[in-house]
Amino acid sequence: MKNYLELSAEVEQALKEGKPVVALESTIISHGMPYPQNVETALKVEQTIRDNGAVPATIAIIGGKLKAGCTPEEIEYLGKKGQAVIKASRRDLPVLVARKEDGATTVTTTMIIAAMAGIKVFATGGIGGVHRGAETTMDISADLEELAQTPVMVICAGAKSILDLGLTLEYLETKGVPVIGYQTEELPAFYTRHSGFKVDYRLDSPEELASAFRAKIELGLKGGMLVTNPIPEQYSMPKDVIDKAINEALRQMNEAGVHGKQCTPFLLAKVKELTGGDSLAANIELVLNNARLAAKTATALSRL
């Protein structure tokens, strides 16, 4: 494993000393936002984690190395290269490593590399899920399978609202993944706090989250835990506004014949365009909110 996995000195030291560490994905840098906002946001998220008592570990594949902890220069590199960096899921890892290529990690690959490194808590924007129309396309995100088998707590603002949220919850239930609402009983839907769907359990503090995750590990139950943390009220977009933008984006996507791994970037870009940039501002705020909760939860977990 040492031939493939490379921890930054800071992350390695923190893990050795039992200090709290929070994993961060890199797809949000290369595919989620334009430059230079992507780099500025990534560095701001790292600082937010530090401000809340934990060590950030931005995860990526650079030159075939699985990196747990990127330098500011590496984050700048990923941000400038943008969508030229391959969006790497589980299936891409062997070839990217063998070819010594770069890859931006999705929720799936961030979980894989975090688990390899021994990092238990991961903050992201929103997870993938079951796409609308999946009954005919079979388009289901690898994120759900990873949550079913990899022991990492994923803290997000719910599943992206471009998805079929009801089917996403059904899939997670089938796979035995607990869906926790942080201070809420309703599944948040990324840009908005409201979806109309219920989570499995409501927990109200980082200490409760940490205790539940530790119990899951000690019971020998495989897989991760999904914590859904609603976007702060002041940044939440009205559900009808975001639904209208999503429906129009879906119409344009089907018209353009976009499919597979290009669906999510296409839809997010269209929703941003249709909301006059409001969705991007909301995206940044919800990621920062998740980073704060992840740092506090990782800190609580390190004390157990």
User: What are 81's two structure tokens?
Assistant: 């290269």
User: What are 296's two structure tokens?
Assistant: 């506090």
Of 67, 87, 120, 160, the active-site residue reads: 160
Tally of CB atoms within 10 A around 241: 15
Maximal C-alpha separation, the chain: 53
Is the preceding peptide bond at 72 cis, omega within 30 degrees of 0? no
120: amino acid identity, one letter:
K
**87 Cβ contact partners less than 8 Å away, ≥ 6 residues apart:** 27, 30, 31, 103, 104, 106, 261, 265
Query: Does the active-site annotation cover 74?
Result: no
C-alpha 169/C-alpha 173 separation (Å) is: 6
C-alpha 293/C-alpha 155 separation (Å) is: 8
C-alpha 290/C-alpha 286 separation (Å) is: 6
Of 25, 74, 76, 146, the active-site residue reads: 25
Query: Does the active-site annotation cover 2?
Result: no
Q: Between the CA atoms of 191, 195, 198 and 201, what dihedral angle is there, to the nearest 10 degrees?
A: 10
Q: Which of 56, 48, 50 has its CA nearest to residue 25? A: 56
C-alpha 187/C-alpha 169 separation (Å) is: 9
Contact 121, 214 (CB under 8 A): no
C-alpha 18/C-alpha 6 separation (Å) is: 18
Q: What are phi and psi of 2, to 5 degrees?
A: -60, -25
The single-letter DSSP state of residue 176 is T
Q: Which residues are catalytic?
A: 25, 160
